[in-house]
Amino acid sequence: MMVDDASGKGGEERAATIARRTLLGAVGFAGIGGVAAAVLGATGRGAPPAQTPAPTAARTPAPRLVVNTPAPTAMVDHDANAAAVVKRFVDGEWQRITPRGGQPLAARVDGSTKVFDMTIEHIKHRIDAKREPLDALGYNGVWPGPLLRVVEGDAVRATFANKLHESTGVHFHGQRLPNKMDGVPQVTQDVIRAGGSFTYEFVARTPGSHMYHSHHNATDQVGRGLLGAFIVDPKDPAERPERKYGVTQDVVWISNDTLGGFSINGRGFPATQPIVAKLGERVYIRFMNEGVMSHPWHLHGMPMRVVSRDGYPLGSAAFTCDTLSVGPGERWDVVVECDESGVWAFHCHVLPHAEGIDGMFGMVTALIVS
């Protein structure tokens, strides 16, 4: 989800308009026209591949690449299947699925305290436009929950009303909290029973990229959507990404990998939202892993400068890479200098999380630079 851009205009809107314009035209996503045409003309396709294996009778066979030719009974036109999902992405499937999680929730201000009124609900959630909606869980009705954002030193009060049929508890992951606000049921507090509520009060003293999530029956509850981003901007404006790194977009990227499969911000490819940038723009990306496995995020075309881990700036230990493994619970912040135009694939490099016989799925999106 885009949470901000330099113009002050919602990054979402901007992405929506530019993504369509760019993908369908200006950038010249060369393959797309042909690919889409192939898909559209693919009805009834299914003829065997033109190439057939060479006879094997040669006396002294030269070493050659062995190609698996599908048996005629197992014919799958995976070119067409792969093209079809790319077309859905190009057509902007992400824009057509609502509600969209992870949108900023404005705090209610009570004196000097920033107040967030939250619900915990059973929801139906769509991973993409084709799959049946899932029986999921959401904070304020969405997966991921709303983006909660405060400034270092703010007093925070977040009340969670539990509308589930089961108990829960909420942990602000990454914050240094008073022990009784740590949100671990039966350790630091009673469970929040079905129909009950609990108010978390603390001073946000740990700046950076953090999360909030269930800490009760968590494999199921977090796996089904009880997760969200909690960003604490440094008190010193000079330490904020836009000033410190000259970034003009701030992207939150929460991954999950249980119910609903492999997802980014609650969606799987082709319903994932692309990141859209102008040539020369610098983009800040906050990877957050709410899943149960590690995901090596790989960006094509240009590297990522890794500047922060778990909210703590790396300083002189910042490093550059093109594949960054993000383990469960971890947050890594990167700066991407968008200095190559094109549509660049951006995906988890555990291949069964990203691409199969029917093309790309799950943990895949694109960085579109124009």
Contact residues: Cu ion, CB under 5 A: 295, 348, 350, 353, 363
Q: Which is nearer to Cu ion, 257 or 333 (CB)?
A: 257
In whole angstroms, what is the distance from residue 310 CA to residue 27 CA?
A: 35
Q: Which is nearer to Cu ion, 318 or 350 (CB)?
A: 350
Least Cβ distance, residue 248 to Cu ion (angstroms): 28
Q: Which is nearer to Cu ion, 32 or 348 (CB)?
A: 348
Q: Which is nearer to Cu ion, 212 or 361 (CB)?
A: 361
Residue 157 forms beta bridges with which residues?
Answer: 115, 201
Least Cβ distance, residue 352 to Cu ion (angstroms): 8
Least Cβ distance, residue 263 to Cu ion (angstroms): 10
Q: Which is nearer to Cu ion, 170 or 324 (CB)?
A: 324
> What dihedral angle (degrees, nearest 10) is formed by the CA atoms of 160, 163, 169, 173?
-60
Q: Which is nearer to Cu ion, 135 or 358 (CB)?
A: 358
Least Cβ distance, residue 361 to Cu ion (angstroms): 11
Q: Are 204 and 115 in contact (CB under 8 A)?
A: no
3-class DSSP state of 49: coil
In the chain, the amino acid numbered 153 is: G
Least Cβ distance, residue 295 to Cu ion (angstroms): 3
Q: Are 108 and 158 in contact (CB under 8 A)?
A: no
Helix (H) or strand (E) holding 90: helix 78-90
In whole angstroms, what is the distance from residue 123 CA to residue 90 CA?
A: 28
Distances (CA, A) of 126 to 81, 251, 265, 279, 299: 21, 21, 11, 33, 26
Least Cβ distance, residue 353 to Cu ion (angstroms): 3
